[in-house]
Structure 1
Amino acid sequence: MAETTTAPAPAPIPAHVPGERVIDFDVFSPPGSQADYFGAWLALLDGPDLVWTTANGGHWIAAGGSTVRGIWEDAARFSNEALAVTPGLGEVMEFIPLQQDAPEHKPFRSAVMKGFAHQHIVATEPLVRGETVRLIEAMRPHGHCDFMAEFAEILPVHTFLSVIGVPPEDRVRLRPLGRQLTRPDGTMTVVELRDAADAYLEPYIRERLASPGPDLFSRILSVPIEGRAWTFEEAQRMCRNLLFGGLDTVVAMLGNVMMHLARHPAQQERLRQDPGLIPDAADELMRRYPTVAVTRNCVETCEIDGVTVERGDLVYLPSVLHNLDPRSFDAPETVDFARKLTQVRHSTMGAGPHRCVGAALARMEVIVVIEEWLARMPAFTLAEDARPTFRAGNVGALDQLALAWQA
C-alpha cells in the first residue's frame, strides 16, 4: 500500500458521480487527523452518507453509520477482492481468506477459525498476562513512559509471534512491515512489502506443512480444504494475511484505550474499585475508539443513498463512521461501561463474512492489559504538556502517548 512522497494529481471524476458528492479528502491524511484522528473523520457525518474523493485514484467513502455497516455486511454486491484503495494492492497481496468471496471463502475461513478456537485463546492468556506484567514492572519505577513505544508496540506483536511459533525478538524486524501496509510512507512498494513478508515466512511455512507443531499456523494448515491438503501457495497467502493482521491493529487499539483512561481519572478509579466491570469496559472502549477501515469493490451496479455505485467502484468503509454516528449509537462519543452492545454490534472488528478472525484474541489482550495495568500501576495521566499525535491510514494509530504517574 506504499504511497509516493509526492501526491499524485487528482483522479478524473467518473460521469456517474454527482458533482455535489465530490469532496477533497485523502483517507491517508484527513485534515487535522494528526492532532485529532476521530474528529477529522467525524467531520464527514455532516454531509451525505456516500461521498466521492479524487484522492488515491478516486473512490467512494461511506460516510454514515448505516451505510458503512450495510456495505460491510453485503458480501453479495461488494467484494473484498480489491483489498484497499491503492491500485494493484489486492493483485499483489492475494490474502487468504480476506480477499476471497463465497463459495471459495468458506473452507479457508473455517480452517482459520478453528486455529483461533476458544480453547486456544484461553491457553494464550497466561502468555499475554506474563508479558504484560513484565513490561509494567520494568516501567513502573520510572514514573513515566511513551506507552506506544514501550508497551503497545511490544505486547501484541510479541503475543502474535509467539502464537505463530516464531522468535518474539523478530518483532523489531517485522513491526515496520505492519506499519507500511496500514500507514504507508512511500519507502517500500507493495511488491517489496509482500516479498519481505514472504521471505521471512517461507521457511516456517515449509516446516509447518512438513511437520506441524502446536502453533497457530500448524493448527490451521492441519485442517483439510474440502478433503485435500493445503498447497504451498495457499499456505503462503494465508500466513501472509495473518502476519499482516497481527502486526498493527491491537497496537493501535491499546494506545487509544490507555489514552482514554489517562484522560478520565474517575473511570480509571471506578475500574480499580470494581475490576468486574473491566470486560464490559473493554468492549465499550473498543467501540468508542475504532481505527480500522476497509475497502470493498462493487461487483453489481446498485443505488445507495440516492446515487449509483457502478460495478468496479471502490468504497472505503471507516469503522469510526459507524461506531460514532449518533444515528447508530446513543451519545456515541460518551464512554458508558453499562452500554448494552449486544443490541447494536459495533464495527471495530468488522462485520459480515470477513469479520476479524482474531477478534477474540484482541479482546482478551485488551482485558488483560487493563486488569494488570490498573492492579499494578498507580493513578496515571497524560504527561504534562503531552499532546498525543496520530497517523491516519487503514489502521489509524497514535505515534506517541506520554503517560506519567507517581513512582
Structure 2
Amino acid sequence: MASAVPAHVPTERVVDFDLFNPPGVETDYFAAWRTLQGGPGLVWTTANGGHWIATSGELVRSLWADGERLSSECLAVTPGLGEVMRFIPLQQDAPEHGPFRMAVMKGLASRFVVALEPKVRDVARELIEGLRDKGSCEFVADFAEILPLNIFLTLIDVPLADRPALRKLGVQLTRPDGSMTVEQLRDAADDYLRPFIEARMAQPADDLFSRILSEPVMGRAWTFDEAQRMCRNLLFGGLDTVAAMIGMVTLHLARHPEDQRLLREQPELIPAAADELMRRYPTVAVSRNAVVDLEVDGVTVRKGDLVYLPSVLHNLDPACFEAPEVVDFARNLTPVRHTTMGVGAHRCVGAGLARMEVIVFLEEWLGAMPEVTLDPAQPVTMKGGNVGACTALPLVW
C-alpha cells in the first residue's frame, strides 16, 4: 500500500522499498536490505502507509535506544497491529514499562536459563539422531522450526503437539500473508492462551507464565488484561526469532565448511562463534513512533511519524564494524555492541535464552553431524518482514 509523500519529507529522501518484499529478498535477505546503504542516513518509503527507515548503523542504534523522543507503542508498520496487540512489556514506555519488564526479567533469570540447558541438548540430540542417517533434510522444517519452539512451549508448559498451529500464528505476526486480520490473529492467540492464563493465575506452578504472574507489579497483583497482554507478547516472541536465527547460522555453516571444521577442531570457540554469527545474520527490526518533532540526519521527523529500525543496517554497516560481512570468530564483541537482540530499555528479554540455544545447537550439531553442504538441486529461499528468515534450507551430507 503506497501513500502520498508528506510535505515535510524532502523528495531526495524518498525511496521505493517494501520491508515485507525488498528487492531480491527471495535469494538474499541481507543484500536486499543493503541496497539502502551508501545514501542518506534516513529515508522515507511510500510503502505500507509511508514511514522513515534509518539506514546508517549509528542512527539505527541511537534511535533504538531513544526512549524519550520515540515511543514503542506502534509495534510495527502493519496497519492496526500495535493498537490491537498492546503487548506488555514490548509496547510500553517509561515509567509504566519498568515494573512489568522487571517481572518478565525475573521469570527469565539466568538460573532458569541454565536449568533449561539439558532439555535443549536432549531435544537437539533427538532431532539430530532422527536426521543423521537420512543424508539430507530441509533444515527449516526438520530442525529450525522444532528445536526453539519445543523449548519455548516447554517453558510455558503447553502441549508440544500444538507447535505447528502456534508456529503459523507466529509467522502471521512477523511475515503476514494477508490470510488473517490483525484482530483474528490476536483473538486466535488469546483463545489459545486463556485457559492457561486462568489456571496459572488461580494456582501458579513452575512454568514461565506462573513465575512472571507471581511477581507483583507496582506492589499489586496482575490484572487479567495485563496477564493476557504479557502472555500474548511472550507467545509471539518465542515463536519465530530463534528459529529464524538458527536457520541463518546453519546457512552460513553450509556455505562455509571451513568454519564447520574449525569449530569441530576447536569447540572452545563456539560461544564466540555464536555471538559473531548472531551479529552477522540479524533479521529483527523494530518500529518507533515519534512523540515530538525531532531533527535527525538533517531532516525533521514529525510527531506521529513512524521510524523503522532494522538491525541488519547497524550490524552490517562498515562504519560500525570493520569488514562487517566477514564472519570473524576472533572479532571483539565485548561488550556486545550489535543490535541483533536490540539495545536500550527494550533489549530482548529472552536474549540470554536465545544465545544459550544457539550455542547448544552448534555444540550438538557439529559434535554429531557430518559436514553438511547446500543441496545443489534445490534453492535456498528467504522472506522479508519484521523478522526475516530462510523459508527453505535444503542440506545434504
TM-score normalised by the chain length of structure 2:
0.99
1:37 — aligned with what? 29
Q: Which amino acid aligns with 2:213?
A: L
CA distance in 2 between partners of 1:167 and 1:19 (Å): 53
Q: Deviations over 1:151-181 (max 9, x none)?
A: 0011111110000011111101100000000
2:359 corresponds, among 359, 367, 372, to 367
Give me the whole-angstrom Cα distance separating, in 2, the residues matched to 1:375 and 1:341.
25
How do 1:214-363 and structure 2 match up within 5 A? 214-343=206-335, 345-363=337-355
Matched, 1:400 2:392: yes
C-alpha contact (below 8 Å) 1:73/1:353 kept by paired residues: yes
**Partner residue of 2:60 out of 59, 68, 85:** 68
1:80 alignment counterpart = 72
Alignment partners' CA distance in 1, 2:377 and 2:167 = 28
Offset at residue 58 of structure 1 (A): 0.4
SS of residue matched to 2:36: helix
The amino acid that maps onto 1:280 is: A
Counterpart of 1:179 (choices 160, 171, 175) is 171
Which of 89, 100, 110 aligns to 1:108? It is: 100
Tell me if structure 2 keeps the 8 A contact 1:80–1:98. Answer: yes
CA contact 1:37–1:396 (8 Å) conserved in 2 = yes
Give the aligned residue type for 1:40: A
Distance in 1 separating the partners of 2:224 and 2:377: 52
Q: C-alpha separation between the residues in 2 aligned to 1:140 and 1:325? A: 38
Q: 1 CA distance for matches of 2:102 and 2:268?
A: 33
User: 1:43, CA displacement in angstroms?
Assistant: 0.9
Q: Secondary structure at the match of 1:44?
A: coil
Cα distance in 2, alignment partners of residues 377 and 12 from structure 1:
53
Query: CA deviation digits over 1:268-297, x for unaligned, max 9?
Result: 100000110000000000000000011000
Is residue 2:380 matched to residue 1:382?
A: no
1:158–1:169 CA contact under 8 A, matched in 2: no
Q: How far apart are the structure 1 equivalents of 2:38 and 2:293?
A: 26
Pick aligned residue for 2:181 from 164, 189, 196: 189
**Once the two structures are superposed, what CA deviation does each residue of 1:208-240 show, in whole Å capped at 9, x if it has no partner?**
000000000000000001110000000000000
Which contiguous aligned blocks of 4+ residues in structure 1 show a shift greater than 6 angstroms?
Answer: none
How far the C-alpha of 1:357 sits from its partner, in A, is: 0.5
Is it true that 1:391 corresponds to 2:387 in the alignment?
no
In the TM superposition, residue 344 of structure 1 has moved relative to its aligned partner by 5.7
Q: What is the CA-CA distance between 1:87 and the residue it aligns to?
A: 2.2
Of 107, 131, 149, the residue aligned with 2:141 is 149
Aligned partner letter, 2:170: G
Asked if residue 16 in structure 1 is aligned to residue 3 in structure 2, the reply is: no
Query: What is the rounded CA distance, in whole Å, between the counterparts of 2:152 and 2:189 in structure 1?
Result: 15
Q: Is the 8 A contact 1:112 1:357 kept in 2?
A: yes
Cα gap change, 1:358 to 1:97, in 2 (>3 Å): same
Q: What secondary structure sits across from 1:328 in the alignment?
A: coil
The 5 Å alignment of 1:161-180 reads: 161-180=153-172
Gap runs ≥5 in structure 1: 1-7
Letter in 2 for 1:80: S
Q: How far off its partner does 1:385 sit?
A: 3.2
The Cα of 1:118 is off from its aligned counterpart by 0.5
Structure 1 equivalent of residue 127 of structure 2:
135
| 2:19 corresponds to | 27
Aligned pair partner of 1:121 in 113, 138, 151? 113
The C-alpha deviation readout for 1:111-165, integer Å capped at 9, x for no partner, is 0000010000001111110000000000000011000000001111111000001
- Counterpart of 1:192 in structure 2: which amino acid? Q
SS in 1 for 2:295: strand
Q: Secondary structure, in 3 states, of the residue corresponding to 1:297?
A: strand
Q: 1:344 and 1:48, CA in 2 relative to 1: closer, same or farther beyond 3 A?
A: farther
Give the drift of 1:322: 0.1
Alpha-carbon offset, residue 97 of structure 1: 0.3
1:61-115, Cα deviation, whole Å (9 max, x unpaired): 0011001001000010111101111222111000000000000000000000000
Pairwise CA distance, 1:379: 1.0
User: Shift in Å at residue 23 of structure 1?
Assistant: 0.4
Q: Aligned partners of 1:233, 1:388: CA distance in 2, in Å?
A: 42
Gapped regions of structure 2 (runs ≥ 5): none
Cα deviation code 1:10-48 (max 9, x no counterpart): 211111000000000001000111111100101101211
What is the Cα deviation at residue 386 of structure 1? 3.5
SS across alignment from 1:45: coil
Counterpart residue type for residue 228 of structure 1: R
Distance in structure 2 (CA, Å) of the matches to 1:159 and 1:343: 27
Aligned residues: 397
For 1:169 and 1:128, the matched residues in 2 are separated by 17
Residue matched to 1:203: 195
1:4 alignment counterpart: none
